[in-house]
Homo-oligomer: A and B are copies of this chain.
Amino acid sequence: MEGNKFEKTTLNTVRRRPDRGIYDKETIASIIKEAKVMHVAFVDTEGLPQCIPMLGVWDEDETGQCYLYFHGYPTTRIMNNLSDPGTPIVATATLVDGLVLALSAFSHSMNYRSAVVHGVVLPVSEEEKKAGFQKVVEGIAPGRWENSRQPDEGERQGTGILRIKVETASAKVRTGPPKDDKKDMENKELASKTWTGVIPLRTVPGVPEPTSYTTVPTPAHVSALATAPHGA
């Protein structure tokens, strides 16, 4: 880590299309925040790859060290597999921003933002678990920790928190129109029959749907969630 950027290493360097590689913490954190779900991959006890979608939040301490927090049920396979501190994992968040249609089938692409984080499982004390639970809830739905019943002892025991020490990370972003070959663009016949451009995709929140037993009007923190950017 150098200031707000991750150093490029063998693990995190974007090699294919290095112009799309981004290493600053702010971009990486914003992609993870918007995606909410990360795909957590690890090697299981049989040596097989596993990849599970989990709610993930990014955190940074006062020294600049970054962490990921995930929550899950303490008895699931992933929690069992990841109970050993030091186990390496990789967690990836991806937002799809559009389909990119080009003159040639080969140049078709997608606009996207993705973040890949490499880290290791940390031990979690009771205090850190409690703090981690709060970070996950607040990271996904800001305002809910104070605006809901806080966990009792049984619920705290019924929640597993994965705390990951981030070792390195990078983002990769593509934006804009197709990049067609010059020779295709100069081919008048091809250009005259082939529509090219972008189909933008955006994840939008709908109108909040209260439960039948909700008696309070929509509070500010819920309205904010219903307008915040949400990739998926």
Residues of A within 8 A of B (CB): 11, 15-16, 36-37, 39-43, 47-53, 55, 72-73, 75-77, 88-92, 94-99, 101-106, 108, 110, 112, 114, 116, 118, 133-134, 137, 140-141, 144-145, 147-151, 155, 158-159, 177-178, 180, 184-185, 187, 190-211, 213-219, 222, 225-226, 230-232
Is the Cβ of A39 less than 8 Å from the Cβ of B51?
yes
With A76-B16, A205-B201 as known contacts, state yes or no: A102 contacts B148, CB within 8 Å.
yes
Is the Cβ of B42 less than 8 Å from the Cβ of A39?
no
Is the Cβ of B225 less than 8 Å from the Cβ of A210?
no
**A140: min CB distance to chain B, Å:** 7
With A101-B222, A104-B149, A148-B105 as known contacts, state yes or no: A16 contacts B73, CB within 8 Å.
yes
**A175: min CB distance to chain B, Å:** 12
Closest to A207 in B: B200
Is the Cβ of B53 less than 8 Å from the Cβ of A112?
yes
Is the Cβ of A201 less than 8 Å from the Cβ of B203?
yes
With A16-B73, A206-B201 as known contacts, state yes or no: A103 contacts B232, CB within 8 Å.
no
Contacts of A203 in B (CB 8 A): 96, 201-204, 232
Is the Cβ of B204 less than 8 Å from the Cβ of A204?
yes
**A114: min CB distance to chain B, Å:** 5
